[in-house]
Homo-oligomer: A and B are copies of this chain.
Amino acid sequence: MPHAHRSTRGPMMTDGTPLRTLDEDDLLARILPLFGGSPDLVVAPGDDAAVLLTSDQTVATTDTAVLGRDWLDAWSSGADIGHKVIVQNLADVAAMGGTPTGVLVTLVADPALSLEWVLDHARGLGLACAEAGVAVLGGDLSSAPAGVVMVSVTALGRLDGPVVLRSGATAGDVLAVCGTLGLAAAGLRLLETGSEDRHPLAVERQRRPVSPLTAGPLAARAGATAMLDVSDGLVRDGSRIARASGVVLEVDLGALEPDLAEIRAAVGVSDALECVLAGGEEHSLLATFAPEDLPPGWRVIGRARPVARGERPGLLVDGRAVAHTGWDHFRGS
């Protein structure tokens, strides 16, 4: 009974009034009030485009969620998906050292999708934006073939300090994380096996990830040399920093013991290791710093060293290479 496991009592995707019975203006009139404004929003949605107050440099990123690939109706409510797609975009802004300011949202949906689901979804989106002080700048609604629902978000942010790329880590830096590791992946395993009660928080993080957004710009100002958010897993994302920076990142497995301990009882020893090393959708921040620059709220899990002769840049866990087990979109592996 997957229905019973949904995090909220939000409507199922086809329960209620089908979108095809509404015209677009009616639908927008129902949705737009669910989005808060922002003092930075000069022209709100409803015209050809919105206008946002910006500074000298604007961070821009986009990320999409597709029904069946990124979520299942049985596991996530519309509000959950709204929350998740916003957080995963805002985390990318924070990982550059930016402060998120606005989003644009596109919903492409089967006209059989229910109005009730869409409104629940919009509430989730609106709430996640309000929590982060972010304005909804606009969006687009389009119909799609039967069974298709996808939400695409573009997030904008301002840079008040330096930008932090993936490529700036240098030998001697510490590798540090702000936030949890493996919790969202453990939640996914629990949903897959219908055993959500074994770790409700992990399931909640899978449905509604939490990213330490304000830590991004603070880390940038503290001197982070490289940073990203953990969306494809520690090994895969850490390897990206290592390769972009031309260093080897040595992760100490012992430093991950708190993360492993958190989920070991729920998913078992082997899966806990897999979740912590390779679990995606966590949206914690991973960064490198000169040791003396480490800001509060970050914990050291390893260090950067030069690439040895005959070696390639990459990430090692307790001195050993670990297979990349992150997600590849078109191959699904």
Contacts and interface: CB of A to CB of B under 8 A. Distances in A.
Interface stretch (A142-150, A174-182, A311-319): A142-150
Q: Which of A64, A93, A147 has the most CB of B within 10 A?
A: A64
A72 interface: no
A122 to B, nearest CB: 15
Contacts of A328: 23-24
Nearest to A67: B145
Contacts of A166: 47-48
A38 to B, nearest CB: 13
A52 B96 CA distance: 12
Contact of A57 (B51, B66, B70): B51
B142 A108 contact: no
B55 A54 contact: yes
B104 A62 contact: yes
A229 interface: yes
Interface stretch (A4-12, A152-160, A253-261, A271-279): A152-160
Interface size class of A (residues with CB under 8 A): 35 or more
A250 interface: no
A132 interface: no
Interface of A: 19-20, 22-24, 27, 42-43, 47-64, 66, 68-70, 92-93, 95-96, 98, 102, 104-106, 108, 111, 137-145, 147-148, 150, 152, 154-157, 159, 163, 165-167, 227-229, 328-332
Contact of A24 (B52, B150, B229, B329): B329
Contacts of A98: 49, 51
A219 to B, nearest CB: 13
Given A24-B328, A330-B143, A106 B152 contact: yes
Contacts of A157: 49
A63 B140 contact: yes
25 contacts: A43-B96, A47-B166, A48-B93, A48-B95, A48-B96, A49-B59, A49-B95, A51-B58, A51-B59, A51-B159, A52-B60, A53-B58, A54-B56, A54-B58, A62-B106, A62-B139, A64-B106, A64-B142, A66-B108, A69-B143, A111-B331, A142-B329, A150-B150, A152-B152, A154-B154
A57 B137 CA distance: 13
Nearest to A49: B61
Nearest to A332: B143
Contacts of A331: 20, 23-24, 111
A134 to B, nearest CB: 13
Contacts of A55: 54
Contact of A60 (B19, B23, B93, B156): B156
Nearest to A229: B48
A72 B95 CA distance: 39
A209 to B, nearest CB: 15
